[in-house]
Amino acid sequence: MISRYLTAFYQENVQSSGENVMSAIVPLMKLISLTLIGLFLAHPKTQMIPRATFKLLSKLVFALFLPCLIFTELGESITLDNFVRWWFIPVNVLISTAIGCVLGYLVVIVCRPPPQLTRFTIIMTAFGNTGNLPLAVVGSVCHSAENPFGAHCNSRGVAYVSFAQWVAVILVYTLVYHMMEPPEEYYEIVEEGVEIQEQPAVNNVSRPLLVEAEWPGIEDKETEHSKTPFIARIFKSISSVSQSALSDVDFSGEAGGGGSPRSIRCLAEPRVVRRIRIVAEQTPIKHILQPPTIASLLAIIIGTIPQLKGFFFGYDAPLLFVTDSLEILAGAMVPSVMLILGGMLAEGPNESKLGLRTTIGISVARLVLLPLLGIGVVALADKLNFLVAGDSMYRFVLLLQYTTPTAILLGAIASLRGYAVSEASALLFWQHVFALLSLSIYIVVYFKIIVYV
Mean pLDDT of the chain: 78
> d(Cα 355, Cα 31) in Å, to the nearest integer?
30
pLDDT at residue 448, rounded to an integer: 86
Give residue-wise pLDDT tens across range 71-80.
999 999 999 9
Three-state SS annotation for the chain? CHHHHHHHHHHHHHHHHHHHHHHHHHHHHHHHHHHHHHHHHHCCCCCCCCHHHHHHHHHHHHHHHHHHHHHHHHHHHCCHHHHHHCCHHHHHHHHHHHHHHHHHHHHHHHHCCCHHHHHHHHHHHHCECCCHHHHHHHHHHCCCCCCCCCCCHHHHHHHHHHHCHHHHHHHHHHHHHHHCCCCHHHHHHHHHCCCCCCHHHHHHHHHHHHHCCCCCCHHHHCCCCCCCCHHHHHHHCCCHHHHHHHHHHHHCCCCCCCCCHHHHHHHCCCHHHHHHHHHHHCCCHHHHCCHHHHHHHHHHHHHHCHHHHHHHCCCCCCCHHHHHHHHHHHCCHHHHHHHHHHHHHHCCCCCCCCCHHHHHHHHHHHHHHHHHHHHHHHHHHHHCCCCCCCCHHHHHHHHHHHHCCECCHHHHHHHHHCCCHHHHHHHHHHHHHHHHHHHHHHHHHHHHHHHCC
pLDDT at residue 203, rounded to an integer: 43
pLDDT at residue 201, rounded to an integer: 42
> d(Cα 103, Cα 107) in Å, to the nearest integer?
6
pLDDT at residue 240, rounded to an integer: 41
Task: Calculate ∠ Cα 403-88-411, nearest 5°.
Answer: 40
Q: What b-and-e string marks burial along 370-389, b requiring 16 or more CB atoms within 10 Å of the CB?
A: bbebbbebbeebbeeeebbe
pLDDT at residue 165, rounded to an integer: 84
Collect the ranges in the chain with pLDDT lower than 70: 1-20, 23, 184-287, 451-453
pLDDT at residue 272, rounded to an integer: 59
pLDDT at residue 218, rounded to an integer: 58
pLDDT at residue 281, rounded to an integer: 60
